[in-house]
């Protein structure tokens, strides 16, 4: 019996488990998501599970590879002026003329550590939203930082690869965002 392509795609059951550094999926280059898959109910359910997992984690960003799904998808949300955003198949252009700044970040996949990395102040992003509509926008501030961290996850890059400095993330630094 023939199967539709999306019926061949399986997602982990909720609650999603966040995998940790050392797991090979965190090092893979994730695959693009087809429009058929975006429109499928298993994928839409998976997005809901990712959003729930983001909220439960206390983080501000979560990429699909962090829950062992090697697809080019991430979600982000922060009370620091970043509304809930679902980002699928992003293309990121770093706007180097606007400079870089140091950012101290934690990663949900690297427990207990924080790293200082250099991030671009401004990026241009094109992506599909959860309805499959094309979005084109410039991001600055905290939204740009989260997007750069999550975009790295889609390419198998972790903060340990791009950091200036890594330290223990102790309770003196509770404000360090987790992504």
Q: Which residues are designated catalytic?
A: 150
Q: Are 120 and 100 in contact (CB under 8 A)?
A: yes
Answer yes or no: are the C-beta atoms of 86 and 73 closer than 8 Å.
yes
Which stretch, 8-16, 27-35, 71-79, 102-110, contacts Zn ion (CB under 5 A)?
Answer: 102-110
Q: Which of residues 103-122 bind Zn ion (CB under 5 A)?
A: 107
Give the CA distances from residue 111 to residues 19, 37, 106, in Å, rounded to whole numbers and listed in that order.
Answer: 10, 32, 8
How many Cα atoms are found within 13 Å in the side-chain-facing hemisphere of 109? 28
User: Which residue minimizes CB distance to Zn ion?
Assistant: 107
The interface region with Zn ion, picked from 26-34, 50-58, 99-107, 165-173 by CB under 5 A, is: 99-107
* Contact between 176 and Zn ion per CB under 5 A: no
The residue ranges of DSSP E strands in the chain, in sequence order, are 61-63, 73-78, 82-94, 100-107, 110-120, 122-128, 134-140, 163-168
Name the residue nearer to Zn ion (CB basis): 19 or 95.
19
Shortest Å distance, C-beta 26 to Zn ion:
9
* Shortest distance, position 42 Cβ to Zn ion, whole Å: 24
Q: How far is the CB of 82 from Zn ion (least distance, A)?
A: 15
Give the binding site for Zn ion (CB under 5 A).
Answer: 107, 179
């Amino acid at each position: 019996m023939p199967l539709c392509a999306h019926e061949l795609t399986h997602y982990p059951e909720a609650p999603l488990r966040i995998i940790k550094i050392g797991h090979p999926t965190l090092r893979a280059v994730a695959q693009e998501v087809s429009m058929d898959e975006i429109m499928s109910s298993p994928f839409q359910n998976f997005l809901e599970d990712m959003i729930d997992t983001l909220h439960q984690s206390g983080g501000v960003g979560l990429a699909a590879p962090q829950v062992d799904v090697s697809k080019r998808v991430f979600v982000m949300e922060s009370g620091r002026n970043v509304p809930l955003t679902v980002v699928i198949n992003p293309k990121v252009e770093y706007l180097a003329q606007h400079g870089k700044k140091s950012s101290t970040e934690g990663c949900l996949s690297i427990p207990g550590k924080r790293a200082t990395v250099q991030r671009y102040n401004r990026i241009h992003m094109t992506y599909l939203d959860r309805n499959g509509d094309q979005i084109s926008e410039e991001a600055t501030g905290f939204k740009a930082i989260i997007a750069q961290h999550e975009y790295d996850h889609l390419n198998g890059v972790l903060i340990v690869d791009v950091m200036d400095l890594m330290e223990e993330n102790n309770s003196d630094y509770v404000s360090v965002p987790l992504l």
